[in-house]
Structure 1
Amino acid sequence: MNAEAVWAQLQPPDRAWLTHLAALAGPGAPVALVGGGVRDALLGCTPQDLDVVLEGADVQGVAGHTGLPFTFHPAFQNATVTLPDGRHADLVRARRETYPLPGANPVPHPGTLEDDLRRRDFSLNALALPVTPRGPGPLLDVVGGLDDLHARVLRPLHGASFREDASRLVRGARLAARLGLSAHPELLAQVPGALNMAAHTPRLWAELRLLFQEPRPGRAARTLTDWGAGDLLPGLRWLEALDTVQDAGTAVTPTTYAAAALASAPDPAAFAERLGLGDRPAALLTRVFSDTYFAPGTPETTLRALLRPDAYVPLTGRDVVALGVVPGPGVGRALEHLAELRRAGRIRSRAEELAALEGYLEAIR
């Protein structure tokens, strides 16, 4: 696929915006669409994420002249622009990076477009489509990313890639699972080094949190396991089972996936804190392991079917009324009696609960 074909995959407003950016940057400041947008276009998809590199330009000034809302990040001289349709585009000043320590944040230095491509994570994310005010230029591939993309292979750019930034391991698993990519031998060789640096790389845990937002998180977790990094994320069995639920047509939320992993974590509180999960997955698990009734198809019943296969649906107030109890406080007392029996382990099925209810009602008549 040539540059014109990549250009044609972009939405018309995105093409217009990119040529406008090139005009704003001026003739001495090359502009290029890079990374996932080029990759996805080469795969025949309409790019949604726009990552644009500006070489030798005042990124803040260019962002301001677009007339769109933006946030400027001075540490890296980048700007996040909000497009008219609500999507976000990143304007990145071309740079090279050095790592003062493995796992630490990189230190940026001004660089060329080629420098910027060589600092990236994987070869198929290091492709660029230069843009001029008149349209696209020829595709730029300085690391062999086109060959890897055609072979559907995920390859790190250099031998110290995962040691410098161990989060690339998880990002790679997400990408491989989503796009159906195989791991290059160089990637697999770097997995042990990434695992050694995991505790020193906060970005890795943020990438794990993002994994729950993938179309099929269980597939990404399986990829990590196949690469020898399964210990990073507990609950593979449940994550893959939730993928199957999705494949059958039931939507599963990222919170549900996170709760499934949390249920398998040796130290759930520490796991939730490390990944920054917040309170929602733990709260969902509390409801799953309660006796509360939830309608079919809810996250509670979906997880309950996986984590509590022997669980049953407790009797409700409607069931109590059907047995002749007048609606009112008596219904609540009957339900509380059943809840106490469940907590004591004296009833373990709906049939036992029904028998206990009938015995209770007989005793109070």
Structure 2
Amino acid sequence: VTTGKNRIAGIITRQIVSRALAHGLGNSPVKEYMLRDIKSVHPDAAVWEIRKIIIDENQRLLPVVRGTRVEGVITRTDLLRIMHDKIASIEGSLYPASRTKPVKNILKERLPQELYNTLKDAGELGASMGFNVYLVGGIVRDMLLRIDNLDIDLVVEGDGISFAKALSKKLNARVACHEKFKTAVITLRDQRHIDIATARLEYYNYPGDLPQVEESTLKLDLYRRDFTINTMAIALNPQRFGELIDYFGAQRDLKEKRIRVLHSLSFVEDPSRILRAIRFEQRFGFSLGKQTLSLVQSAIKAGFLKEVSSRRIFHELSQILSEENPVACMDRLKELGILNAMHSDLDFNSSKRDLFLSIKETLTWFNLLYTHETVQPWALYALALIGSMKSSRAVSLLKSLGLEPREIRKILASRDTVLAILKEFAKKGPKRPSWVARLLEGKDIGDILYAMARTKSPEVKKMISSYITMWRNYKPPVTGKDLISIGFSEGKELGECITIIKEKGLNGEIRNAKEALEFARKFLDAKKS
């Protein structure tokens, strides 16, 4: 693609044109989907330089430029023909680059021994069945980044379902198969999962559609994935065990800290990848590649985010809101106009940003307590997003983001609960530990944490933190059985006395069992008289 002055603007391949037409994009400008982040060579370029760009960097079409003028192109077929004819004479001068490298030691270093042995068993089983088995997905990427990740995803060149059944039998584990998508999930005895998929090709009938699945090869399976950094695989068959396979320049993108899609229609076929791109960009401290950023902007402009199913949007957004630093993701989503493209009421102003930071700080503090209670971070951030919106607008926003009716009801109920809590704290008068305990007892821990994050009062924050760390776990120094032994009968008076003892204990008025029994005797005498 050239400008009016025959200067190169980009390239577009026949495959991209065909797929764009299939998606009904025939009237779209070429510039929307042409590849911009490309390289060119001078007419005097050496073969090794051409090979590096076409083969190692996966640029199928290479413009030949003298100065600013395009003089021709070299295709992959042209290069292969030259290499075939002159392989003997040029072999020594070819640019030294390899798509594979051994990472067996990294596997051994990053994985528990039992899991490492499981992968070896999987490779041996695959070889015995005539299948090639590969470790793929985020775990491969994270191994190279030295990030902990034990999510096992396997791709099988062959019948993934029959392989999964055989492996589950070998591991004495449960298996659930999904014939339509040619996938299976093995659940090990320690409840860890192994996801298994047949190497497959996916295609989309229209933007945002669910994928249609066909059997394929490893390379085509990896090509259907979202970003280059997620396209690496590690061979598990005994002959190649521990060999890293990189068809699409993922190692280079990891080194250059770049998020890059594999083809120009990636965000057309699955617009939810836009949110995923931002999540990975901010998680790893990477940046969107020039071409990828342009494609994000084109997809937003075309309104494709409104065409994807809201539940898929929820999946991606909840992942963002569960990140260690969702604030950075939200800043970037706002900067690129993605939030407004999802819903007109979805904004991230300074007050919401401050509340996000407070939630993050509160959750970090709570997680360090190791209480093992389940808190869904995304739900707290969703509360911050709806703020004080009228219920009808809040429902509209949450529904458009893919929350189900029961989830929306829970969010709105939590908002009412938190507002009621903070309203009570705002009232004048003493607020002793027993008062705080009565107010917060029985409340959902997520609601309590959101109240702690939302209040701007240091005193209220301190009271809520004391309730979480101490007061809610307080046990009276005596039991009902102790009170029965001094003359109480089971019933209303017993329960009332225990409650009062507990409140006095929280307030420091009763410090031990002796003082508790003294109070109980006086209480009983007063009731009798």
Fold-level match, TM-score > 0.5? yes
Equivalent residue number for residue 347 of structure 2: 234
The alpha-carbon deviation at position 2 of structure 1 amounts to 4.4
CA contact (8 A) 2:223 2:231 kept: yes
Relative to the length of structure 1, the TM-score reads 0.76
The alpha-carbon deviation at position 105 of structure 1 amounts to 0.8
The alpha-carbon deviation at position 150 of structure 1 amounts to 1.1
Matched, 1:45 2:147: yes
Q: Which has the larger radius of gyration?
A: 2
Matched, 1:289 2:413: no
Q: Distance in 1 between matches of 2:349 and 2:234?
A: 38
Give the count of matched residue pairs.
Answer: 314
CA contact (8 A) 1:305 1:311 kept: no
Equivalent residue number for residue 193 of structure 2: 88
**Residue from 106, 112, 120 that aligns with 1:19:** 120
Equivalent residue number for residue 398 of structure 2: 272
Equivalent residue number for residue 246 of structure 1: 360
Q: Distance in 2 between matches of 1:281 and 1:292?
A: 20
Matched, 1:219 2:328: yes
The alpha-carbon deviation at position 122 of structure 1 amounts to 0.2
Deviations, residues 241-292 of structure 1 (Å, cap 9, x unaligned): 4345534742374121121123277821022223226033222211122234
Identity between Structure 1 and Structure 2 (%):
27
Deviations, residues 323-356 of structure 1 (Å, cap 9, x unaligned): xxxxx9xxxxxxxxxxxxxxxxxxxxxxxxxxxx
SS at match of 1:146: helix
Matched, 1:197 2:304: yes
The alpha-carbon deviation at position 108 of structure 1 amounts to 1.1
**Against the structure 1 CA distance between its residues 85 and 164, is the aligned structure 2 distance closer, same or farther, given a 3 Å change threshold?**
same
The alpha-carbon deviation at position 121 of structure 1 amounts to 0.2
- Once the two structures are overlaid, the 10-residue window that deviates more, 32-41 or 203-212, is 203-212
The alpha-carbon deviation at position 312 of structure 1 amounts to 9.5
Deviations, residues 73-124 of structure 1 (Å, cap 9, x unaligned): 1211101222333232210110111111111011111110111111100000
Q: Distance in 2 between matches of 1:260 and 1:107?
A: 37
**Against the structure 1 CA distance between its residues 137 and 302, is the aligned structure 2 distance closer, same or farther, given a 3 Å change threshold?**
closer
Q: Distance in 2 between matches of 1:17 and 1:114?
A: 24
**Against the structure 1 CA distance between its residues 273 and 65, is the aligned structure 2 distance closer, same or farther, given a 3 Å change threshold?**
same
Equivalent residue number for residue 50 of structure 2: none
The alpha-carbon deviation at position 308 of structure 1 amounts to 6.2
Unpaired stretches in structure 1, ≥5 consecutive residues: 314-327, 329-365
Q: Distance in 2 between matches of 1:84 and 1:178?
A: 31
Q: Distance in 1 between matches of 2:357 and 2:329?
A: 10
Matched, 1:167 2:269: no
Equivalent residue number for residue 324 of structure 1: none
CA contact (8 A) 1:25 1:62 kept: no
Q: Distance in 2 between matches of 1:160 and 1:268?
A: 33
**Against the structure 1 CA distance between its residues 229 and 69, is the aligned structure 2 distance closer, same or farther, given a 3 Å change threshold?**
same
**Against the structure 1 CA distance between its residues 63 and 236, is the aligned structure 2 distance closer, same or farther, given a 3 Å change threshold?**
farther
The alpha-carbon deviation at position 240 of structure 1 amounts to 5.7
The alpha-carbon deviation at position 12 of structure 1 amounts to 1.7
Q: Distance in 2 between matches of 1:174 and 1:198?
A: 16
SS at match of 2:365: coil
Q: Distance in 2 between matches of 1:64 and 1:13?
A: 19
Q: Distance in 1 between matches of 2:403 and 2:316?
A: 11
Deviations, residues 270-320 of structure 1 (Å, cap 9, x unaligned): 22223226033222211122234566x96546545665658997xxxxxxx
**Residue from 267, 287, 296 that aligns with 1:182:** 287
Matched, 1:131 2:236: yes
SS at match of 2:114: helix
CA contact (8 A) 2:160 2:197 kept: no
CA contact (8 A) 1:163 1:193 kept: no
CA contact (8 A) 1:22 1:133 kept: yes
Equivalent residue number for residue 356 of structure 1: none
Unpaired stretches in structure 2, ≥5 consecutive residues: 1-100, 367-374, 426-438, 461-495, 497-529
The alpha-carbon deviation at position 236 of structure 1 amounts to 5.8
SS at match of 1:32: strand
Matched, 1:7 2:107: yes
**Against the structure 1 CA distance between its residues 25 and 225, is the aligned structure 2 distance closer, same or farther, given a 3 Å change threshold?**
same
**Against the structure 1 CA distance between its residues 58 and 183, is the aligned structure 2 distance closer, same or farther, given a 3 Å change threshold?**
closer
Equivalent residue number for residue 144 of structure 1: 249
**Residue from 365, 375, 387 that aligns with 1:263:** 387
The one-letter amino acid paired with 2:399 is E
